[in-house]
Structure 1
Amino acid sequence: MNAILYHIKLLRPLNVITSGIAVLIATAILEELDNVHILLLTATIVMLYTAASNSLNDALDHEIDLINRPDRPIPSNNVSIQSALFLSLIFFSLGSILCLQLPDMAKTVGIFTAIPIMIGYCTSLKGKYLIGNLAVALVLGMTFLFVGVSHGDVSPMLVPMSLAFGLTLLREIVKDVSDIEGDQFSGLRTFPIVFGMNWSVRIIISLCVLIIFSTPIPYLKGAYGPGFIISLFIGVELPLLVIIFMFLKNPSISSATYSARILKFSTLMGLFSIYLGTL
Structure 2
Amino acid sequence: MIIVMQCVIRYAIAQIEDIDITLSTLGLLFLILATVLIAAGGYVINDIYDVVADKINKAKKRIVGISVDEKQAKLIYFTLTFTGLGLGFILTNLMAHPIYFIYFLLSAGSLYLYARFIKKYALIGNLLVSILVGLSVILVPLFELVPATNTSNNEEQLGAFMVFISVGIFAFAITLIRELVKDIEDIQGDHVAGYKTLPIVLGAQRTARFSVVLTLIIITFISWYTFTFLYDYKIAVATVFFAIIGPLGYCCSKLWEATKKSELSHVSLILKVIMFVGICIIPLLIHAIYYA
Mapped contact 2:122–2:196 kept (Cα < 8 A): yes
Give, in angstroms, the shift of residue 161 of structure 1: 0.8
C-alpha distance after superposition, 1:23-82 (max 9, x if no partner) = 112212221699422321121111111211111111111111110101234356111111
Query: In the alignment, what sits opposite 1:104?
Result: 98
Residue aligning to 2:269: 261
C-alpha spacing 1:36/1:92, structure 2 compared with 1 (3 Å): same
CA distance in 1: counterparts of 2:46 and 2:261, whole angstroms? 22
The one of 221, 228, 231 equivalent to 1:221 is 228
Provide the rounded CA distance (Å) in 2 between the counterparts of 1:93 and 1:265. 30
Aligned to 2:119: 126
Residue 230 of structure 2 contacts residue 237 of structure 2 at CA under 8 Å; is this kept in 1?
A: no
| Sequence identity (%) | 23
Whose radius of gyration is greater, 1 or 2? 2
Q: Does 1:245 align with 2:253?
A: yes
Aligned match of 1:181: 188
Higher relative contact order (CA 8 A, sep 6+): 2
Q: Which residue of 2 aligns with 1:29?
A: 12
CA distance in 1, matches of 2:51, 2:140: 32
Match of 1:210 among 201, 214, 217: 217
Q: 1:171 aligns with which of 178, 183, 208?
A: 178
- Is the partner of 1:257 in helix, strand or coil? helix
Question: 3-state SS of the aligned residue for 2:281?
Answer: helix
Give TM-score, length-normalised by structure 2: 0.83
User: Is the 8 Å Cα contact of residues 23 and 144 (structure 2) preserved in structure 1?
Assistant: no
Distance in 1 between residues matched to 2:22 and 2:245, nearest whole Å: 28
Alpha-carbon displacement from aligned partner over 1:94-123 (angstroms, at most 9, x marks no partner):
111111122334312222x21121111111
Q: Cα offset for 1:178? A: 0.5
For 1:30, give the aligned amino acid: I
Does residue 1:71 correspond to 2:79, yes or no? no
Structure-2 change in CA distance of 1:41 and 1:217 (3 Å): farther
Q: Hey, what does 1:272 align to over in structure 2? A: 280
Alignment size in residue pairs: 261
SS state at 1:216 partner: helix
Q: In 2 relative to 1, CA 106–30 (structure 1 residues): closer, same or farther, beyond 3 Å?
A: farther
TM-aligned CA deviation for residue 234 of structure 1:
2.4
Aligned CA-pair RMSD: 2.0
Counterpart of 2:202 in structure 1 is: 195
| Residue type at the aligned position of 1:258 | H
Once residues 59 and 257 of structure 2 are traced to their aligned partners in structure 1, the CA distance between those partners, rounded to angstroms, is 28
The answer for the alignment partner of 2:131 in structure 1 is: 138
CA 76–104 in structure 1, closer or farther in 2 if over 3 Å, else same: closer
C-alpha deviations, 1:183-221, integer Å up to 9, x for none? Answer: 011110000000002211211110111111111333333
The amino acid of 1:72's aligned partner reads K
Question: What TM-score, normalized by structure 1, do the two folds share?
Answer: 0.87
Q: 1:91 aligns with which of 68, 73, 80?
A: 80
Unaligned runs of 5+ in 1: 1-17
Deviations 1:152-173 (A, max 9, x none): 3443320111001000000000
* 8 Å CA contact 2:209, 2:256 repeated in 1: no
Cα distance change, pair 82–229 in 1 and its aligned pair in 2 (3 A) = farther
Preserved contact between residue 106 and residue 149 of structure 1 (Cα < 8 Å): no
Give ranges in structure 2 of 5+ residues lacking alignment.
Answer: 15-20, 147-160, 288-292
8 Å contact from structure 1 (residues 138, 165) kept in 2: yes
